[in-house]
Amino acid sequence: MQAIVVNNVTYDDVYRVQTDSIAIDSAGDRLKVPWKIEYSKSSGFIRFYMINGETWSKR
């Protein structure tokens, strides 16, 4: 994946995993699991996108 910027920090080695959010929502796991995760090999987890619209980002 291309580089992304999170909180004014650039990450070049980013891997994004995502799944069908409708499948998660219909399974009743709306608040329990993210539908998309961005991970950097050198820095670990960068960002989680939750089904309910919340987003967690590394500082």
User: What's the pTM?
Assistant: 0.72
What is the number of structural domains in the chain? 1
Quote the CA–CA distance of 16 and 1 in Å, as a whole number.
Answer: 7
Instruction: Give pLDDT, residue 51.
Output: 79
56 pairs with which residues across the strands? 48
**Per the structure block, which two tokens stand in for 3?**
């580089």
Cβ atoms within 10 Å of 19's Cβ, excluding its own: 12
Taking alpha carbons only, the member of 48, 10, 35, 59 closest to residue 2 is 10
pLDDT digits (tens, 9 = 90+) for 7-58: 899 998 899 988 876 666 666 655 567 888 999 988 899 999 887 788 889 8
**Per the structure block, which two tokens stand in for 5?**
């910027």
Domain range holding 34? 4-57
